[in-house]
Structure 1
Amino acid sequence: MSTTQTEKPDVPAAGGNAPPGEKPSAGGDDAAPREKPLSPPQFILYLEGPAYANSLRQLTLWTHHVLLPVYGREITSTAPWCGRWWEHPEAVAQLHSLWLAWGELTGPGSAVVGPATWHRDYLTTAMTALRDPQGPFAGCKPGMHRPKEAPKVDAMDPFGPPPPPPA
């Protein structure tokens, strides 16, 4: 059915507001303007200020309410974890990428093999790297956080920052 400027289409336009659980139907060319599709979340290391804080809050909720209750194994000297993981940039990056993959592979509309793919391709790799004794939590123990110092860039490194100008 074709609609005119004064008629309302019977169904929402593609990308419009369909009720939860229903797919939007295609509307005519004269249908109301379509909503702008949501852009995918940006990787947390590219964010600053309020955008970083908001992403970290969402990551924290997922980590504390999904990841750790289900996949957080006992803390040992060979499998450390830091209760202040958000203070370890590598951990934030690893967990954020794990969370993004979780959303893509287990969310509505994902393939039925999505969760198995997430477990096989993302969970084990990320948790192994995070819980490695030489990983980002090396030196941290339950109830004790130890900040890690990043390696320093040699001033003579051709890819590092230029040396300061002569005085």
Structure 2
Amino acid sequence: MTVEKAVKDRGVIMDCNLSFKDQINQVVRTTGYHLRNISLLKKYLDGNTMKILVHNHVISKLDYCNLCYYELPNYLLKKLQLVMNRAARLIKDLAPHERIAPVLIDLHGLPIKECMIYKTVLTHQPLQFGKPRYIRNLLQDLHLDTPVAIRHNAEQHRLFEPRVNLKKGFRTFEKITP
């Protein structure tokens, strides 16, 4: 029996250290290919079609399973952010030296780190309404064994934080949700 250093499951490459270097490099390579091809077609496309193509072929790949990248080193996340910046520059037809922050704001795009945080905030929907059920089943309410009534509203929806011993355990969905 051989042990694989990295395996692909549901489109995500996971290595034995959960560093996701291979996954991020693959996403950067694939999105770079699509950005090059779209840039060649740029003169034939209007702005709306350009946005649709970039979103379908680039942004969707950056967003797919990006919670796996939570708490990864900045040098890996920067690669993804550079792809997003490149996509925004392509949509707005900007030069490489122009500032990207106003463009991202105009396109309603969040930086990579903020996208991951935003997805964790989306746990509000399953907590309040119970849907989707598969996410609600991952979230465990914190039940304090105390006779004292909890009065503060913020304490009503506290979640149980599972104990983790490894650094990789701090990146699990149950741990990073608020």
Per the normalisation by structure 2, the TM-score is: 0.30
More helix by share: 2
Per the normalisation by structure 1, the TM-score is: 0.32
More strand by share: 2
